[in-house]
Structure formats: structure tokens, C-alpha cells
Structure 1
């Protein structure tokens, strides 16, 4: 039996075991008897060695601690709980389907029980579940994973994400109950996505000292070979316990997955061109159009594939650090945004293939703030404790990123407006630079891990220079950039916020006041506002999708009026360069799935034909 959670705390008349799925505000798509997800090929052949690339370096095998950089393929990150890419090593209690807004189906847990008072959830483990050392996955391991990730030895995101969970209680070897501090509309769902690892991992060492030991987990792959900072490979487990489960059928098809590390993006490009890599997702339109050419492309040995998507992209922007006094004035932040000429970039660099980001929840029809407040939104504002503060900020039309029409006149108009805003904020141009009242020049530093950002930042720096602001972008090691972001030691940084089809507890870490001072949080800007905190609480407690969407739209509107970021752009297609023997399902890419994640989970490699070289 499945649970359809329209408002999950609606009183249940009796305990209900859900063998397959939980839906967040709707009936789950897949019935109890489903055999596989619609977006996979259940008959995909297994085999082959997939070689991919990664940027920068890595210095640890533990993805959950704050210090250091984990390797590609692990999936989790201490300062970004949601998968940056699909993990190869760790299984979770439940796993989401990628073609629904937010549904979970059993993986390690074969059953889940929501308590009648909705103040706890109990998971019953699949007796077949095994770690990579062939030991069973027990409730004690689940509790160990939770307690460890909630401790100070792990990154802070987990403590923020699961802050409403009071305790994990072992009932017996196969059952574990998570008790809640308060009702929370998605807590039973997000704790189901917790990565689980064995108590044997690290052999009793303090978790923050578990650095080089390969994880002991229950996922489809194990760490095979490691050349620290240079390469890592994963080997598919022939005894993977979940290989035939409906939620894993047709997935994780490569016998081996390797990542080669590069310091420069051009190195990755050249490697795919000569056949040293099997696939590369290209994010540069200029490179896609102009540089992927030659004999191997002409012969069909290497293929360029454009993959359309409908994914929620969220807010991709340049976040300013409000901890720096010069960014505290909203007029300064508005001026910085006025200097960014997207229209020029889109025509000159992107061949018209990018769209401007307008929302923290871009591409979501029901979550993006609308031009005018609706009756439901006005009613919610009237109930806000901080309604006067909300109304004080949210005045006038919905802010939209400034456009130039790709004309000198349009840019000049925006820069004149920016100049006036800066003057009103106390900045004046003298001695060749924009200066504050003490004569200190306005300088902004941005760290970049590779040169792919330079074509975007160079024209932005040129426009800011016309205002007397010096934008200095510096190439730094990715590990150093991460440390500086963790310590909030930066002026401006590229950040992607939102993008979830069902926003909830992650907003505490992204935007909540508590996370503003929490080292390693995702609250790069240092946002600390009681209005935002109140709206996040309302979102997390929302009883149904309609209520959640109303609160999210109000949050989006408030954030846009505050101009915390310089909005950038997004694409409606993924660009994948790959060898011709790589295949993908005929089904459309599901809404939630990233192209890189789809490559790992749903693609496969055709066996080489007789006499054909790999």
C-alpha cells in the first residue's frame, strides 16, 4: 500500500505500511507493482569502462566532513546535501524518482510507517541489504549514520537540514524510528534520503579523522583505485544487493567508472577530442559551436548530443557577501546588477541559446513570483507576524533583471542609473576610482577555478570599471576556493540557489539566519532576516502543494526585492560530447535529472564489435 500525502499530517485512522512510495502532495506515479522507472532501459547491457573528467583536485574519500575536497562520484558534499551528481557508493533508505516533483520509493527500507500523530516515522529495512564487506545493513548502522552526520564532526548542512529530528531510535535489527521535535511537512521524506554507511567505516576513529579510508556502504560501486588529487576509479559490485529492485533496474550499467582530474577546462576538451575520455558535458556555448570539430566528429566516432530539459534551475547568480560592509546598502547591490549586460553576452558568446534568470525558483510554474500578488498571497501576508517588514521591502512592481537590448544606449542608460544609486549610497568618483567617504576604492575580488568564467566576467569587469569599480577575478585552486567559501572569506561568488521542485528544509541552510554564521553553510551572502525565517517556517510546515507554492512565491518576491545576487542565466538544453558506443534511453530526460547524473545512472556502453577497437 502506498501513502498519498496531500498534507502528510492529515490524521491517519490507522497505521499504514507503505511498501513502495510516498508522494509529497500528490499520489505517487508508480504503483506497488511497478517494475522499473519509465526513464530507464530495463534491458540495458552491463559492462564497459566509463572514463570521465573532473576539475581541480581532491584530498579525501569522506564526502561528509567539512575540511577538504571529496572526489567526483561520491555524490554528497558537506556544504551541499542535495546530490551535486548521483552518488555511486552510498544507498539511502528511500530513493526519489526523477520524473515526479517529490516522490520517494523504498531502497534500503522496504516499508515505511508514519505515526498516527505524525511526530515520527519508522523504516523497516530490506533483509537483503548488504554493505560492500558483505555484512547486513542493520538499524544500528542507520542510527550510527544519522548520529554521526548530526555531530560536529560532520559538515553543518546535515544539522540544519534535519534540525527538527529529535532522535533516531533502534527498535530492533531491522526497524528504526525517527522522532520529530515538531510537525514538518517533508521531514519523513528527506530523512528517507539520508546516506547510510557501516559502523565499520573508519574502525572507530573520530569521524573527522576518517580521511583516506574508502567508505563501507551499500551502493552499487566501491572505490577501486585512487591516485590522490589526480584520479579515482569505482568498480561496480557484482553482488550489489539492489540490482534487481524496481528502483535500480536498468541503472548503474558500467562495470567501472573513472575520473581523471584536470587543472584547466581546455585539457578536458582536448582529452575528449583525442578519445581519452568517453563523455564530457560542455557548458560553454562558444566551445560547443566552434571548437568541437575535426576528423573524429566527421567520422561519427565522437558525437555531439543536445538534450532538452525542463528542469527547475533556481537562481544562478553572483552572490555578494553581506558581511562586507560595502555590500550592506541595497542601492549598491542594485547598481552591481545594472552593470551586468546579459543581452550582449547572449548574442556575442551564447549564440542566443541562454535565457535570463528571473527567479530563485526558475522554470517552476507554480513557485515563481508572479507580476501581481494573488488573493492567496495577500491572505498569507496578512497572517505574517512580520507583515509590516515584508510590506516595507516589497514595494512597487516585481523586480526584473535590467535589460539593454544589446545596444550601447541600453547599457549607458543602466550605468547612469547605477551611478546615481552609488552616489546616493555615499560613493563618489575621484582620482580614477569609486571611493567611499574614507577614500577607500571599491574593489571586488572573485575566485575562479578555471578560465571558463573569464569570457563572462571580463565584460562585466569592463562595465563596472566605467563606474569606477575594480572587479578582479583570480584563478585559484578549487580546494582553496572551497575553504574561502566555507570561511566566508570572499567578496562575490558564483552560487546556485533553489532549483528544488519541492522547496523545504534546505532553505534553512541556504537562506536562514542561523546558517549565516555557520561555517560551511550554503548561506554565502550571509542573509539574516526574520521575514525570510518566518516564510521558511511556513514553507516547511505547509500542509499541501498549494499552500507551499503560495509561501514560496512570497519568499521569491521578497528575495528579488532585496537584490542579494546579480542574476545570471540558464540553458534549456544540456550539451554532451561522447563516444558513439555510449547509448541512452529513448525516453525524454526526466524533469529532475541532471545530464551528468543521467549519464551515470541510465546510459550504457554497447559491447565492442568483433574487430572494432574500443
Structure 2
């Protein structure tokens, strides 16, 4: 029976007039043809060897797992480094993906299915061949036991999969799933060894420090739970000679040192305990880079251009709380964050305002809705806030950079609270009709953020909101985030240049109380409808219009207080690393296509730099 089913599947594939190709692009032509020798932005002659080392601090959390596909445990940084997928994107294109594990992909014009043919010789790190059955297993177990939000999203796109033979797997798509991105969604699934999982003795949902077996260039070399991970380049990596891999994966080892806090992590860098640092603190960048190794020229400090979309870093308000249901309350809270003062006083004027959900792209909503946007918005008028149609996208007004408390903003905030039924009493605190104070807790696990949140808390208390900062350790932070047990947290809402089905995980009603990517608990049928318009867009023009409409509506919900973004990579590194110049627009790539200059490394070692 199985053989008959396989034969029937093969016959269907042969009967269809298929497009057979080495890659796929959403809207336009591929940059790289089938005979390309290497990616344009790499140095194909980059030497192999040496080590890339960097740090992670408790502000980002420690770890107790190397399994990134489950909610159990806290996975280590780069826990997905072991795995490859059928397709891989590049750092100089948007919306394109090229064969990696696959040799070809084949699909009909209506993109109702896709067939991936796995490259002959593709192998897992244990030397066993990658088969279509492994790809099927990976898809099915992620679909059935992976992260809940992922399960919901992939189930809407992929109807099922079947093995055609040892090297071919077919994915069928739900007819109602959007054409755009459906093949990339199947081609982007990680592939791991069925045999290794079965032999591990672990359930898929269990956290573990023994990673699943994948096929990528790096394998686990050393792990000290909560302290260090080291990955080593597999000398027998099956894909060394692929054109897409030329000039990449150049380090023999990648080492990550974990520190208890950001201060200790910085001191570790100045002492040469690790050699590459991507700085995220404006205070450090402006004031701390004056240590001896830098003065001696052993360390390079550089600002490299960053053309990537903003990460969407924001204070996120938990809409599951009754006290935050009124948008006027949320706006009042937002008004008391003085970005201009924060930027000038605490950030040395180094950051930009993170206003739109698609900041630093041409997808930002601007002005009043265009006619094309109105065509999407009008059918939803009764469900949308009237300001969507009559005013420009919501943006916090410019605040006074000279003092933390902007009195004009405070008066506006108090007025909004009164309109929402929160009135200032004799003790200076606002209360509702039931006599309850408006309690607002900022939950945070990183001490570096105290200096940012405390002035905000004081501003809120000035207008009568009972605000406080609660600092917890990383484990508590993870638990409370997953249980949605918070008022306000700092989180990222990362969007894409060509957003698709992932929007359902960030803003969709269906997974509002299960998605780890929707901390606000946003659940709105009008937003659901606009998300579907984005997903269904078949041209770049349609995409731009639908994203602008969605951006406009999301901003008027006022469920997050935008923070800031940086349009440059702040990097410091011991002068042993080299990179292609110019860098590609959409990636720094220090783990991907940088390399070690062996002579420079020997010279610095001899000088005692590290």
C-alpha cells in the first residue's frame, strides 16, 4: 500500500507542468542565477580558522537548554545553530531564498504544492544521510509538538507533506493560504535527524542540553550550563563546496561567555576574555571605551551602517488587564515617557525614535490614509477608532528634552485619565469609581534598565498613577512573561520587510493567549482582517498599502510605548577580525562571513592583548 501511495504521488508530480528552479523570490527576479559561484558580499577567499568569541549577560537571560523548539527551559543563544533548512535567504536581498539542503524545488504556477529534491550527499553531522523521511519527521513533530504559536501558523499554511522517495518530499498547501511566502515557509523549516531524536530518550517538548542532530556547519563542542557554550566547525560538513557557502562559516570555533550582569560582561571584554562585542548601551558607547587595550590600538571601535528594520523595542502594555482596556489610559501612560530627555540625558543623543512598527523602512504609515488604504479600512470603519480616518498615525508629541517631567504632557495625561474615569483624589493618587488606585508595575530583569525606568515611574507617580519597578531574575522573568503575569514589560516586536503569516503570531486573536510573540494579548477582529490583507498581498504595491493600513491601526491602539532604535551597528573587537567592505545592507554577519587574520592574532597574542 505504501509503495502504491508513493507511486501515485510521483505520478502526480510528473503529470504537472512544474517550474523547476534553484531559488524563489516573492515579487521579482532572483539576484543570483543557477550558476553563481558565491554571494556578492562575501570574500570567497576568506581563510578558515580561529575563534569568534562574544558574551551574553543575564539581562538577556542565562540558559538551561539547547532545544529552541519548545517552551520548556530557556534555550541558549545560538541553539538553532545546528540546523539547516531546504532554503536559505541572503543578506543583500529581500524576499529571496535559495536551495541549501535541496538541489532543486519544483512547483506549479498556482503554487498549490512544492517538491524539494534533497542534494545527493547531504548529511547530518553524525555522517548519516539526510532523507525525505527526516524532513517529513521534522515538519510533523514541529506541527504537532512545537511552540503553540508556530503550530497554529504552520497549520494554516501547510495542509500536509508526503515522502515521494528517499530524496524528494512534497508539501501541499491549504488552498486558502496566501500564495506569497507559502513555499518559503515550507522551505524554511529546520530539518533534524529522526534517528537521533528517537535514540535520545527525550520527549520533543523536554528541555535538554544535548541538542538534536542537524546538518549545519557547527556542532556542539562544550557546554557549561549558564556559563559557556562552544560550537566547533565540523571538518566533515557536507556543504563545504556549495556556492552559497563560499566565504562563509569561517571560524573553527564560536564561543559564548555568559555573565551575571552587563557590567561584568563589559569588564570581561576589556580584559580580553572574549574578543568581539556588539554594544547595546549608549552609556558604554559614549563613555566607557577608554581602556588600555583600546588606547594601545589592540581594540577597534567602529560604527558600521545598519540598513535593517527596527527591532520594535517598546514598553508593552498587557491588554489582558482590565485597568488597561481604555486606550485613553494607555495613552496617558505613554505620554509620561519622555524620549527626548531620555535620549539626550541618558543616551547622549545617539538613538532615534522608534515610532512605527516598520521603522527604518518605506512601509511606514504617513499622513492621512490614501485612497488605496481607505479601500481596506472603510469596510472595517465600525470596528476601528475614528482617529484612524481623521488624523495622521498616532505618534507621541515631542517632549521637553531639558527636564524629565514634561508638564504639558502631564496635563494632557491627567485629562485623559479623567475622561476614562480615573480622578485625582486628595492624596494625589488617581482612583476609579470603586476607589481603586491605578497600579502599574514595570517588570524587568536587567539592572541596566533601572536608570531608564525609574524616571518614567516617577513621572507616572507625579500624575497620580501608583507606578513601581519590580526587578526579578531571568528565570522569574521568563515564567511571568509566559504566564502573562505582568503589567508592562520591555519587549521587541520585530517586523519583516515582506511580512506574512508570522503576523498572526504577533497580532492575531486566535493565538492571543498562547503566542509567546504577542505579549500585549492583542485580539481585535479588525486587526485580524488587516493582517489577512497583508498576508494575501500578491504585488509589492498591494503589500505596501496593506502594511501601511495595518501600521496605522496598530499605532492607534496605543498598546506599546515606543522606545528607540539605532541605525548603526556599534561594534568593538580585538584587531584580529576582518570583514568584507562594503557590508551587505541587511546583516552585520559577524558569525557568518567575517574571518580571523592569523598574523594579526599572533601579533596581539605576543603583545599580551588577550
> So what's the TM-score if we normalise by structure 1?
0.91
**1:346-392: per-residue Cα shift (whole Å, max 9, x none)?**
11122222111121111111x1111122222123334x4x3432364
How far is the alpha carbon of 1:444 from its aligned partner?
A: 1.9
Q: In structure 2, which of residues 294, 306, 310 is the aligned counterpart of residue 309 of structure 1?
A: 306
**1:44-75: per-residue Cα shift (whole Å, max 9, x none)?**
11111222111231111111011111111224
How far is the alpha carbon of 1:29 from its aligned partner?
A: 1.3
Residue 16 (str. 1) matches residue 8 (str. 2): no
RMSD between aligned alpha carbons? 1.9
> What's 1:448 paired with?
444
Residue 51 (str. 1) matches residue 44 (str. 2): no
Residue 28 (str. 1) matches residue 30 (str. 2): yes
> What's 2:545 paired with?
550
How far is the alpha carbon of 1:300 from its aligned partner?
A: 0.9
Contact 1:51 1:277 in 2 (8 A): yes
Take 1:580 and 1:104, find their aligned partners in 2: how far apart are those partners?
Answer: 33
Contact 2:218 2:232 in 1 (8 A): yes
**1:506-561: per-residue Cα shift (whole Å, max 9, x none)?**
1000000011121x431111111111111111111111111111111100000111
Q: In structure 1, which of residues 494, 512, 515 is the aligned counterpart of residue 511 of structure 2?
A: 515
Contact 1:221 1:237 in 2 (8 A): yes
> What's 1:80 paired with?
none
Contact 2:328 2:416 in 1 (8 A): yes
- SS of residue in 1 equivalent to 2:313: strand
> What's 2:590 paired with?
599
Q: In structure 2, which of residues 77, 83, 87 is the aligned counterpart of residue 72 of structure 1?
A: 77
Take 1:242 and 1:41, find their aligned partners in 2: how far apart are those partners?
Answer: 17
How far is the alpha carbon of 1:409 from its aligned partner?
A: 11
Map 1:422-441; keep pairs closer than 5 Å.
422-430=417-425, 431-441=427-437
With over 3 angstroms needed to count, the CA separation of the structure-2 counterparts of 1:352 and 1:249, relative to structure 1, is same
- SS of residue in 2 equivalent to 1:353: coil
> What's 2:6 paired with?
none
Take 1:51 and 1:351, find their aligned partners in 2: how far apart are those partners?
Answer: 28
Contact 1:312 1:364 in 2 (8 A): yes
Contact 2:64 2:207 in 1 (8 A): no
- SS of residue in 2 equivalent to 1:517: coil
Residue 585 (str. 1) matches residue 585 (str. 2): no
Q: In structure 1, which of residues 273, 291, 295 is the aligned counterpart of residue 292 of structure 2?
A: 295
Map 1:113-152; keep pairs closer than 5 Å.
113-151=106-144
**1:215-242: per-residue Cα shift (whole Å, max 9, x none)?**
2000110111111121111111001111
Contact 2:57 2:260 in 1 (8 A): yes
> What's 1:222 paired with?
219
**Which range moves more in the overlay, 54-63 or 134-143?**
54-63
> What's 2:185 paired with?
190
**1:180-230: per-residue Cα shift (whole Å, max 9, x none)?**
112422111122111111102332642113623222000110111111121
How far is the alpha carbon of 1:428 from its aligned partner?
A: 2.1
How far is the alpha carbon of 1:99 from its aligned partner?
A: 1.2
Q: In structure 1, which of residues 224, 249, 253 is the aligned counterpart of residue 246 of structure 2?
A: 249
Take 1:576 and 1:477, find their aligned partners in 2: how far apart are those partners?
Answer: 27
> What's 1:90 paired with?
83
- SS of residue in 2 equivalent to 1:64: coil
Question: Which runs of 5 or more residues in structure 1 are unaligned?
Answer: 1-11, 76-87
Residue 159 (str. 1) matches residue 151 (str. 2): yes
Take 2:591 and 2:372, find their aligned partners in 1: how far apart are those partners?
Answer: 42
How far is the alpha carbon of 1:475 from its aligned partner?
A: 2.8
Residue 350 (str. 1) matches residue 347 (str. 2): yes
Residue 231 (str. 1) matches residue 228 (str. 2): yes
Contact 1:485 1:524 in 2 (8 A): yes
> What's 2:9 paired with?
none
With over 3 angstroms needed to count, the CA separation of the structure-2 counterparts of 1:612 and 1:489, relative to structure 1, is closer
Q: In structure 1, which of residues 490, 494, 502 is the aligned counterpart of residue 490 of structure 2?
A: 494
Contact 1:62 1:215 in 2 (8 A): yes
> What's 1:539 paired with?
534
**1:410-429: per-residue Cα shift (whole Å, max 9, x none)?**
81111100001011111122
Contact 1:444 1:469 in 2 (8 A): yes
How far is the alpha carbon of 1:89 from its aligned partner?
A: 1.3
Residue 339 (str. 1) matches residue 332 (str. 2): no
**Which range moves more in the overlay, 539-548 or 133-142?**
539-548
How far is the alpha carbon of 1:127 from its aligned partner?
A: 1.1
- SS of residue in 2 equivalent to 1:600: coil
Take 1:221 and 1:64, find their aligned partners in 2: how far apart are those partners?
Answer: 18
How far is the alpha carbon of 1:13 from its aligned partner?
A: 9.5
Contact 2:443 2:487 in 1 (8 A): no
Take 2:351 and 2:210, find their aligned partners in 1: how far apart are those partners?
Answer: 42
Contact 2:53 2:256 in 1 (8 A): yes
Residue 400 (str. 1) matches residue 391 (str. 2): no
Contact 1:314 1:359 in 2 (8 A): no
**1:400-444: per-residue Cα shift (whole Å, max 9, x none)?**
122114145981111100001011111122334322322322222
- SS of residue in 1 equivalent to 2:492: strand
Residue 389 (str. 1) matches residue 383 (str. 2): yes
**Which range moves more in the overlay, 177-186 or 91-100?**
177-186
Q: In structure 2, which of residues 39, 42, 67 is the aligned counterpart of residue 40 of structure 1?
A: 42
Contact 1:47 1:253 in 2 (8 A): yes
Take 2:590 and 2:109, find their aligned partners in 1: how far apart are those partners?
Answer: 41
How far is the alpha carbon of 1:161 from its aligned partner?
A: 2.9
- SS of residue in 2 equivalent to 1:131: coil
- SS of residue in 2 equivalent to 1:242: coil
> What's 1:82 paired with?
none
Take 1:228 and 1:612, find their aligned partners in 2: how far apart are those partners?
Answer: 30
Take 1:13 and 1:405, find their aligned partners in 2: how far apart are those partners?
Answer: 65
Contact 1:337 1:402 in 2 (8 A): no
Contact 2:313 2:565 in 1 (8 A): yes
Take 2:244 and 2:529, find their aligned partners in 1: how far apart are those partners?
Answer: 36
Take 2:44 and 2:473, find their aligned partners in 1: how far apart are those partners?
Answer: 41
Contact 2:317 2:324 in 1 (8 A): yes
> What's 2:12 paired with?
none
